[in-house]
Amino acid sequence: MEILQYNYEGNGLTRVFENPKWMVGIKNWKPENDINSINCLERHNETDELFILLAGRCTLLYANEEEGKLEIDKVEMQPMKVYNIPATLWHNTVTQRDTKLVLIEDSGTGAHNSDVKMLTQTQLEQIKAILA
């Protein structure tokens, strides 16, 4: 038996470790997470999700839905802190080219128990103002 090591240098997210209970992914910058390209929020309906910023810069966008309206806000991540996204909270990451995150979540989290909400032009303008 030996200690295994995992790494990922490509764009976007890949699961580097997974077992029946949980998975660890590495999430790097990808064009869809750039401030000029972000167009949606997602939520996981059954499970929390954890993020840890290793390098670069990342802003966590999040939104609570009240009477069909999104109340959008942000958290500027700090390196080596654990950020918990509770189940059902709308969220997305805004990253830059040098960003590297660790993502930890239940291995059963996927498209079948998650939702994606496309953002309106008004919501996108609001996000750009929040991030300015």
- pLDDT, tens only, 21-53: 999 999 999 999 999 899 999 999 999 999 999
79-91: pLDDT as tens digits:
999 999 999 999 9
Report the share of the chain in percent with pLDDT over 90: 93
Structural domain includes residue 24: yes
10 within a domain of the structure (yes/no): no
pLDDT digits (tens, 9 = 90+) for 66-81: 888 999 999 999 999 9
Domain contains 4: no
What pLDDT does residue 68 have? 82
Domain presence at residue 5: no
CATH, residue 84: 2.60.120.10
| pTM higher than 0.85 | yes
Cα 132 from chain centroid?
A: 19
Residue 54 lies in a domain: yes
Containing structural domain, residue 87: 15-131
6 in a structural domain: no
Residue 60 has pLDDT above 90, yes or no: yes
Residue 62 within a domain: yes
